[in-house]
Structure 1
């Protein structure tokens, strides 16, 4: 008998895989692949260059027709906080709360999609529904570009993409883009009483850090987009480390800097002048980059999402998603999923049963719309 799972059972299975960002996800992906194939769904695992992580792409219906992608990432942030009251990788229920790492961000949406597969397969879909699962989104959307690059060989150009990040099942039309880089300065250590015999790596970074701080202030007076909070592009020095002891000349210093860009601004362009200032002996590594999302309020996908959810679209959110990358590839995209982003990346992360079942209803509503 083909395995079926309730939405809660499916979420429990997914949470049980410790797919922490940067680690292997093959156990979860093999489980999902076997589940989909058992229901007759065409499915491919697309291994990334890391070798131990993969994306998954599956199609219900005719892949030769334009359809809609239901997209989610299966990686989660670490769960080492002491405030967890139970095993974060074992879903537990307390009242209406389903608690576990990734329950909200964003295995809840993935569980809703998968639990509805038997119902979708039974529908006479006139346009296909694609399931796209990615890895390492939490590291700056590193996995999904490989999946997007493979799409032309997997299906006809999709009509749209729904990225199920937690928005309270309210369609969201825009988010900022982001880029991040790491600067590592190398010096020469020695006793602090003889700075003439060493090279201070922290000092070497100071001109770049001062330029970054000045750029951050300047952006506040730059182009504005009132859909966002704040309405300007932003830049910050997020981490800074270096040195071993007060009386030792530091021979290494590292800073990580990020920029978040409003729609129409390329995130890398905000950091490029900073990177160009890095002097000799300073390494520059781009950590991640993804573009902003901007779907027009009158776009057919926005209208479809309002019909499916019964909720008017929200102009924008401050956090970033993979939707901007799908849009950059020519696929109209929107964000809409269960839960609240404020619960993400926190101990005792949870999704409510009503939120999970609401996501199931949205997925089935899409299937019924495409079968009508």
Structure 2
């Protein structure tokens, strides 16, 4: 990749176009399962720029968008997910811009990354066809639920590299946490709530079980790198009674080197002893989803490109591990090395204050363009 070629592509990046892309994407409500409107918008943008856009069906009215450029098989794919979590407030989910910061549902996770990838793609398209790198652009559905969009893509393709634009504050992540989801259910005995001594309160049992589990050294926030989070808890709701059923879901984000199976076994052993502390305990435990993390390291072609361009962008280069779950786990399990890198941060993702800055989105577009140009060398 020559500096001259990179400068030509960077000069084609349009900050106002990036801004418009992000604002218009955030304006379109696209929770998992209802992504068609935002895909129609992106398809119009990309087809309007002269690209052949392939719809890759996932299920009825849901599809990925797939594009390629350059000669030969793509050496790298830019991958972005267009779905978001559900809105906190349907009156307030849209974009709000102030002082170069855009707030709104999906700004960080990850419509900011998608806007940057589309802008990088449009800038690369300013090159003559013979100078364009062999790369692909994949805009997928379903990441916030079960990753069905990326899973569908992986049925037929295994590119040498993918870059996913999850929010990392532009820190390149060649390492990725694993993930384990635990589901706990306690059963009790329903009785009128004025006579709790005659029943068995499943909620009280669950609270004691969770306290017992949380005291395990495995989940000590001071000494363990495992991220333990009780995501939700719900009980039977049938009027003025002692609840006879309670369910809890626990998210565990595991350091890259941690085996989910070992954590699962440790949790089963801990929970097997819970009956000693919870009288009459009736507990069911299941692990509905598990995914290993990975460590690739930055000693590769993409890492070399980043080392060359970050000083030019006046950005600190700090390799990190992505702490959440993403489609990167799916790609790596399928044998595809993955770099997670995007604008915005996990600190605001999935919150009412979700945000990203326009300068970060523009910088991400420049980084993605450079990675595409550098991918053809290795």
Shorter-chain TM-score above 0.5: yes
Tell me, yes or no, if structure 1 residue 53 matches structure 2 residue 62. yes
Structure 2, unpaired ranges of 5+: 1-13, 276-280
The whole-number CA distance in structure 1 between the counterparts of 2:173 and 2:150 is: 21
Specify the alignment match of 1:171 in structure 2.
Answer: 172
Is 1:41–2:51 an aligned residue pair? Answer: yes
Say yes or no: does 1:78 pair with 2:118: no
Superposition deviation, residue 26 in structure 1: 0.8
Mark the CA change 1:309 to 1:239 in structure 2 (over 3 Å): closer, same or farther.
same
2:103 to 99, 103, 112: 99
SS in 1 for 2:151: helix
- The number of residues matched between the two structures is 349
Give the TM-score, by structure 1 length.
Answer: 0.78
> Once structures 1 and 2 are overlaid, which stretch shifts more, 158-167 or 200-209?
200-209
Aligned-pair CA distance for 1:315:
3.2
1:235-273, CA deviations, whole angstroms, 9 ceiling, x for partnerless residues?
Answer: 444433325599733222111122221223233542356
Given that 1:301 and 1:333 are in contact with CA atoms closer than 8 Å, whether structure 2 keeps it comes out as no
Q: Deviations over 1:59-80 (max 9, x none)?
A: 2224x42411111221223342
Distance 1:26 1:268, change over 3 A: farther
**8 A Cα contact 1:213 1:237, kept in partner:** no
Residues 1:138 and 2:144 are matched in the alignment: yes
Aligned to 1:253: 246
In 1: Cα distance, 2:325 partner to 2:214 partner: 22
Question: Does structure 1 residue 336 correspond to structure 2 residue 341?
Answer: yes
- Between stretches 172-181 and 126-135, larger displacement belongs to 126-135
* Alpha-carbon displacement from aligned partner over 1:80-125 (angstroms, at most 9, x marks no partner): 269xxx8432x33322222322222211121122133332223335
**8 Å CA contact 1:60, 1:120 repeated in 2:** no
Counterpart-to-counterpart distance in 2, 1:99 and 1:127: 33
How far apart are residue 13 of structure 1 and its match? 1.8
Q: SS where residue 319 of structure 2 aligns?
A: coil
Corresponding position: 1:159 with 2:160: yes
For 1:187 and 1:161, the matched residues in 2 are separated by 48
Q: What is the aligned counterpart of 2:17 among 6, 14, 38?
A: 6
- TM-score by length of structure 2 reads 0.77
Q: Secondary structure at the match of 2:356?
A: strand
Distance in 1, Cα, partners of 2:223 & 2:149: 27
1:77 match: secondary structure: coil
Residue of structure 1 equivalent to 2:38: 28
Contact 1:188 1:200 in 2 (8 A): yes
Q: Aligned residue for 1:296?
A: 297
- Describe the SS at the equivalent of 2:350: coil
Question: Secondary structure at the residue paired with 1:180?
Answer: strand
SS at match of 2:38: helix
Secondary structure of 1:116 counterpart: helix
1:203 and 1:354 map into 2 onto residues whose CA distance is: 49
Q: CA-to-partner distance for each residue in 1:286-323, whole Å, 9 max, x for gaps?
A: 55443313122323332233334344342324333322
1:218 is displaced (CA, Å) by 3.5
Structure 2 Cα separation of the partners of residues 349 and 232 of structure 1: 25
Q: 1:142/1:187 Cα in 2 relative to 1: closer, same or farther (>3 Å)?
A: farther
Counterparts of 1:203-242 in structure 2, within 5 Å, are: 209=210, 212-213=213-214, 216-218=216-218, 232-242=225-235
Relative distance call for 1:290 and 1:57 in structure 2 (3 A) is farther
Alignment pair present for 1:359 and 2:364 = yes
**Residue 283 and residue 151 in structure 1: after superposition, are their counterparts in 2 closer, same or farther (change >3 A)?**
farther
Which structure 1 segments of 5+ residues have no match? 222-228
